[in-house]
Amino acid sequence: MLQETDFLLPSFKPPELGLYHPVGYVWAQGEGVSTIILPDRNVASRIAQLAQGKKTVNDKQLRHCAALLSFAHLLGIQFEPGIAFHELAHRAGNAEAEQELGWFRAADNAPPQDMLNVALGRCDGVSRTYASCAVQMPDMAKALKRWNRNYIAALKVLELDVAKGKALDKMLHLLDWMGSSLIFAGPAVMLACVYLGTHSPSRKNVFKDKNSKDRAAAIAGVKNAAWDITHLSDFIRLVNKDPHRTEAQYLFASFDTHLRLTTKLLLEISKLGYGVDQIAGQLTQWWSEKDAMRIAHEIKAHLDRINSPSHVPKTSDDPDLIPKMIEAGEQRLIAL
């Protein structure tokens, strides 16, 4: 079931038996390497709903989450949903995030057989009554610093998307703007490469309500996209902490097709190397060969710049610089 649905993205090259074969995880455990699943907001929420007793027969995603829980339980795979609950706390407050995290932990502690029965359609929801686990979270409602940067970048991507002009010019403008006004944010660049690409699939769910007359709803959609980028950036951050998998290997879980495409793009480029040809080769999924090469040259120039020994990261004496950039980006979006 998991193999058919395929909503997991690995930070590692799966064994020849495949990503969903148990032997690979048993072997990793024997080598002292733990496996950790990082669920996005959608997956984390559905796992919590399982413990709350939600009906599942007509909800494939709930059954697939039950399958994931069963698989993880039986193989000693852990969950780390921190970013998902940062996102919820930021949107709805700490109290609601704590409540849902309690239900998430209840599902995570459930007997594997109960979740197996749900996954395989033997019952319509869990067969027993669960109680929410008591949890105490630190103040997670305050936005993460990297989310603020991702939000500014996401506002700019949508601003460019709505503007007139060629897709290539928009992408190049974004790269130039990042270099001069913000930072070169790799995950945000990858999202833009897929989203703005001339060969991209449906993009309607990337920036929800982007054309709504209610511009507050449009802004909420950009915030959601910024959290998608933050999930991706946290995944990459953890992978880079232990690139040789001496302690842990990670699986990113998401039902979001566009987010999975973006994640795959970033993982493939990091695996193949950051040469112009390697970057362009991956970008041809979304751009013509000529445009992909032009974008790849610009990305490589930024990477060379920020990795140069003489590079000095941007700083500002203005403590309100980030809030000002956010406000300016939101005002431009409201005016569209």
pLDDT at 158: 93
User: Which two structure tokens, joined as six digits, stand for 306?
Assistant: 């920020």
Distance CA 156, CA 140 (A): 25
pLDDT single digits (tens) 83-103: 999 999 999 999 999 999 999
Only one residue has tokens 């000002």, namely 324
The beta strand positions in 123-262, using DSSP E, are: 248-253
Crossing angle of the two packed helices 167-181 and 289-306, in degrees rounded to 10? 0
Residues 164 and 152: their CA atoms lie apart, in Å, by 20
With a cut of 50, which residues of the chain have pLDDT below it? Answer: none
Structural element, H or E, at residue 11: none
> 230 Cβ partners below 8 Å, 6+ apart?
83, 86, 87, 144, 146, 147, 150
| Ranges assigned E (strand) in 184-295 | 248-253
Q: Give the sign of the dihedral formed by CA 304, CA 240, CA 65, CA 13.
A: positive
Q: What's the confidence (pLDDT) of residue 288? A: 95
Q: 10 in the Ramachandran plot: left (φ > 0), alpha (ψ -120 to 50) or beta?
A: beta
- pLDDT tens profile 23-53: 999 999 999 999 999 999 999 999 999 999 9
User: In whole angstroms, what separates CA 127 from the centre of its chain?
Assistant: 32
- 292: which 2 tokens? 């992909």
Burial (CB count <10 Å: 0-12, 13-18, 19+), residue 143: buried
φ, ψ for residue 39 (rounded to 5)?
-85, 145
Task: Report DSSP state, residue 81.
Answer: -
pLDDT attached to residue 202: 61
d(C-alpha 112, C-alpha 312), whole Å: 51
Q: To the nearest 5 percent, what fractions of the chain are helix, strand and coil?
A: 60, 5, 35
- Angstrom distance (rounded) from CA 256 to CA 127: 29
pTM score of the predicted model: 0.91
Beta strands in the chain (DSSP E): 8-10, 34-39, 78-79, 248-253
Q: What tokens appear for 26 in the block?
A: 């048993």
- Could you give the CA distance from residue 320 to residue 127 in angstroms, rounded to a whole number? 52
User: Which is it for the CA torsion 235, 240, 241, 242, positive or negative?
Assistant: positive
